């Protein structure tokens, strides 16, 4: 029941939020809802993994159940989702959105969708929540986005929707092949397919997930969307929603197509690594902070995707850790970008400069975020990247060498960004003051997480280890 409430709380509060009026009430309401979710999630995570399951008949005609379950990976992502929303709401409290009640309602709906995706153990239910997360995001982008929002959010929607539909075909086909005609995870993993079928449907699923992550060359929706979407939505998109793709690969793709995953590992990893280098090189040339973060995110996701396919314990654990770390860090970066935009009205590096004089606190916090972004030791990202690179090296050393180049490139573009935005002579923005308190609070929370997880990642490993027990226990 506790799992259902993780989905229900944001759903109910989200729907209720539509009936609010004014600007501040929905903000506070959404914050309360998200804190409630966080409390519930913390409680759920503290319980042992086996004790958390829920199952009711849902679409009995199709033999699909409303069944939820958790393991370590789901717990990590549930925790990420639960932690992110309050932080996002706190950090963007000063952003004014027209029709705030609708905005926050939709935001909470995405949370419900995300929770559902991470918790469901029934494939149809999974698909349902997958879409539930997508559709509010589309409306958020198309109504509150930047100048090119209609075009961009349409592209985003079509892109991800095409992926979803391809996946749906795969789901239906697999469903028809299950021995007991059910959508349950446990039945899906027992499906016996010929090699040819595996070959096709592996890609059906993979492309859907690859678009979501996104990895090269399915990524072009992402920089545009991140740039145009309202910042709070971008944070959700880049911090949590792209993790859906990786999560889905780990939860659905690898267990369902184990032989194919081994066979295709080289292809997928090469694709991911090309994407990493490619995105890093492009990130070096970006002028907009937002686009730079977007490309940097593509590079990081590429690494995680490659590590998932490296098929060893170290890499997989690294991915789990990194799912959380990257989520937190990238939200931190977006908060910084948002603060800059709120203060100066632009995110173009060429127009900024010398902000460190005016906003030293922001500068320090940004430097911490940026260092976590380039995985400096004792930040949370180092632990994950270290394990992932280790796993990739164990798989094929050459992959680790090539992927390692992105570590260097990451330093290049990140330091460039710091330099062009914060260092140098103060630019024309004389009005800039240091950031407001709510941003400082949000960023401080993230900084604390960065260091605690960076120095003492054991609790996270502890969570992550439940994954492997669960997967092998099937």
Partner 1 sequence: MTNVLQYAWLVPIFPLIGFLIIGLFRNNLSKQMVGIIGCGSVLLSFIVSVWLFSNVNADEAHVARYFDFISVGKVSIPFAFQIDQLSAIFLLIITGVGTLIHIYSTAYMHEEEPKHFARYFAYLNLFVFSMLLLVMGANYVIMFIGWEGVGLCSYLLIGFWFKRTDYNNAAKKAFIMNRIGDLGVLLAVFWMMQKFGTVNFTDLFAAIAKQHGEGTLSANDPALVGITLLLFLGATGKSAQIPLYTWLPDAMAGPTPVSALIHAATMVTAGIYMIARSNIMFTLAETTSNIVAIIGLATAVLAATIALKQNDIKKVLAYSTVSQLGFMFLALGVGSYTGAVFHVMTHAFFKALMFLGAGSVIHGMHHEQDMRNYGGLKKYMPVTHGTFLIGCLAISGVPLFSGFFSKDEILMGAYANNPVLYFIGLAAALMTAFYMFRLYGMTFQGKFRGDEHHHPHESPKAMTIPLVILAILAAIGGFIGIPALFKPNAHALEKYLAPVFEGSAKLAKPHEINHNTEWGLLIGSTIVILAVIAFAWNKFSKYQKTGVEETGMGKVLENKWYVDEIYNAAVVKPLLGLGAFFNSVIEKSGIDKLVNGVGRGLQYLSRQFRHLQSGVIGNYILIMVAAIVVLFLLGFGFTPDIKAIKNLFGK
Which of 148, 181, 285, 437 binds partner 1 (CB under 8 A)? It is 285
Which of 173, 386, 451, 470 binds partner 1 (CB under 8 A)? It is 386
Q: Of the listed pieces 197-205, 236-244, 328-336, 375-383, which binds partner 1 according to CB under 8 A?
A: 375-383
Which of 39, 165, 262, 408 binds partner 1 (CB under 8 A)? It is 408
Please tell me whether residue 425 binds partner 1 under the rule CB under 8 A: yes
Residue 204 Cβ vs partner 1, minimum distance, rounded to whole Å = 18
Which of 25, 270, 407, 471 binds partner 1 (CB under 8 A)? It is 407
What is the pattern of x (binds partner 1, CB under 8 A) and - over residues 252-281? --------------------------x--x
Please tell me whether residue 412 binds partner 1 under the rule CB under 8 A: yes
- β-bridge mates for residue 57, sequence order: 65
Of residues 39-58, those binding partner 1 (CB under 8 A) = none
Nearer to partner 1, 146 or 397 (CB): 397
**For 427, how many CA atoms within 13 A lie in the half-sphere containing its CB?**
20
Q: Which two tokens stand for residue 19?
A: 């009936």
Integer Cα distance of 273 and 279 in angstroms: 10
Which of 220, 267, 350, 444 binds partner 1 (CB under 8 A)? It is 220
Integer Cα distance of 141 and 230 in angstroms: 6
Terminal-residue alpha carbon distance, the chain: 23
Scanning 249-288, the segments in alpha helix (DSSP H) are 254-256, 258-263, 265-284
Nearer to partner 1, 125 or 387 (CB): 387
Q: How far is CA 205 from CA 185, 209, 436, in A?
A: 15, 6, 44
Please tell me whether residue 402 binds partner 1 under the rule CB under 8 A: no
Nearer to partner 1, 318 or 327 (CB): 318
Please tell me whether residue 2 binds partner 1 under the rule CB under 8 A: no
Please tell me whether residue 445 binds partner 1 under the rule CB under 8 A: no
Would you call 436 exposed, middle or buried from its count of C-beta atoms within 10 A (0-12, 13-18, 19+)?
Answer: middle
Q: How far is CA 123 from CA 86, 175, 190, 244, in A?
A: 29, 9, 13, 14
201 contacts: CB under 8 Å, gap ≥ 6: 170, 173, 174, 193, 257
Query: 240, 295 in Cβ contact below 8 A?
Result: no
Query: Is the four-CA dihedral 285, 149, 112, 172 of positive or negative sign?
Result: negative
Integer Cα distance of 233 and 217 in angstroms: 23
Please tell me whether residue 110 binds partner 1 under the rule CB under 8 A: no
Please tell me whether residue 404 binds partner 1 under the rule CB under 8 A: yes
Please tell me whether residue 461 binds partner 1 under the rule CB under 8 A: yes
- CA geometry: angle 263, 269, 273, nearest 5 deg: 165
Please tell me whether residue 469 binds partner 1 under the rule CB under 8 A: no
Residue 224 Cβ vs partner 1, minimum distance, rounded to whole Å = 8
Nearer to partner 1, 58 or 461 (CB): 461
Please tell me whether residue 393 binds partner 1 under the rule CB under 8 A: yes
Residue count of the chain, please give it.
474
Q: Of the listed pieces 85-93, 201-209, 218-226, 338-346, which binds partner 1 according to CB under 8 A?
A: 218-226
Scanning 396-436, the segments in alpha helix (DSSP H) are 397-422
Query: 308, 254 in Cβ contact below 8 A?
Result: yes
Please tell me whether residue 448 binds partner 1 under the rule CB under 8 A: no
3-state SS class at 184: strand
What is the pattern of x (binds partner 1, CB under 8 A) and - over residues 156-195? --xx------------------------------------
Which of 115, 132, 383, 449 binds partner 1 (CB under 8 A)? It is 383
Q: Which two tokens stand for residue 78?
A: 């549930």
Burial 363-378 (b: 16+ CB within 10 A, else e): bebbbbbbbbbbbeee
- In the complex, the residues that contact partner 1 under the rule CB under 8 A are 155, 158-159, 217, 219-221, 278, 281-286, 312-314, 317-318, 354, 356-357, 360, 371, 376-378, 382-383, 386-387, 389-390, 393-394, 397, 400-401, 404-405, 407-408, 411-412, 415-416, 419, 422-425, 456-458, 461, 464
């Amino acid at each position: 029941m506790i799992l259902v409430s993780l989905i229900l709380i944001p759903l109910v509060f989200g729907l209720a939020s539509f009936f609010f009026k004014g600007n501040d009430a929905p903000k506070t309401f959404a914050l309360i809802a998200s804190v409630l979710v966080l409390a519930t999630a913390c409680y759920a995570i503290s319980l042992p993994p086996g004790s958390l399951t829920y199952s009711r008949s849902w679409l009995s005609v199709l033999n699909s159940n409303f069944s939820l379950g958790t393991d370590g990976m789901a717990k990590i992502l549930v925790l990420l989702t639960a932690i992110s929303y309050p932080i996002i709401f706190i950090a963007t409290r000063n952003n004014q959105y027209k029709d705030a009640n609708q905005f926050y309602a939709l935001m909470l709906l995405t949370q419900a969708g995300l929770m559902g995706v991470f918790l469901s153990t029934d494939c149809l239910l999974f698909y349902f929540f997958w879409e539930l997360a997508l559709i509010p995001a589309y409306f958020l982008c198309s109504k509150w986005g930047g100048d090119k929002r209609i075009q961009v959010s349409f592209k985003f929607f079509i892109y991800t929707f095409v992926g979803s539909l391809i996946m749906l075909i795969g789901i239906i086909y697999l469903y028809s092949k299950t021995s007991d005609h059910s959508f349950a995870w446990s039945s899906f993993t027992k499906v016996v397919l010929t090699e040819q079928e595996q070959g096709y449907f592996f890609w059906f699923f993979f492309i859907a997930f690859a678009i979501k992550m996104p990895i090269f060359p399915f990524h072009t929706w992402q920089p545009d969307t991140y740039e145009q979407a309202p910042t709070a939505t971008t944070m959700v998109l880049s911090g949590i929603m792209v993790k859906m793709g990786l999560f889905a690969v780990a939860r659905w793709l690898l267990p369902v197509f184990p032989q194919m995953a081994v066979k295709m590992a080289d292809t997928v990893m090469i694709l991911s690594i090309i994407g990493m280098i490619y995105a890093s090189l492009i990130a070096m040339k970006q002028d907009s902070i937002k686009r730079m973060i977007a490309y940097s995110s593509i590079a990081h996701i590429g690494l995680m995707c490659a590590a998932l396919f490296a098929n060893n314990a170290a890499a997989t654990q690294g991915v789990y850790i990194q799912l959380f770390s990257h989520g937190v860090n990238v939200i931190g970066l977006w908060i910084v970008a948002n603060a800059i935009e709120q203060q100066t009205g632009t995110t173009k590096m060429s127009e900024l400069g010398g902000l460190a004089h005016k906003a030293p606190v922001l500068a320090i916090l940004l430097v911490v975020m940026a260092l976590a972004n380039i995985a400096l030791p004792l930040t949370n990202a180092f632990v994950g990247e270290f394990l992932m690179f280790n796993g990739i090296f164990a798989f094929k050393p050459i992959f680790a060498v090539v992927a390692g180049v992105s570590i260097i490139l990451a330093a290049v573009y990140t330091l460039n960004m710091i330099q062009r935005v914060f260092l140098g002579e103060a630019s024309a923005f004389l009005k800039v003051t240091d950031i407001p308190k709510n941003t400082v609070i949000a960023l401080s929370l993230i900084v604390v997480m960065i260091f605690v997880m960076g120095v003492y990642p054991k609790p996270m490993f502890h969570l992550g280890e439940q994954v492997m027990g669960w997967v092998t226990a099937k």
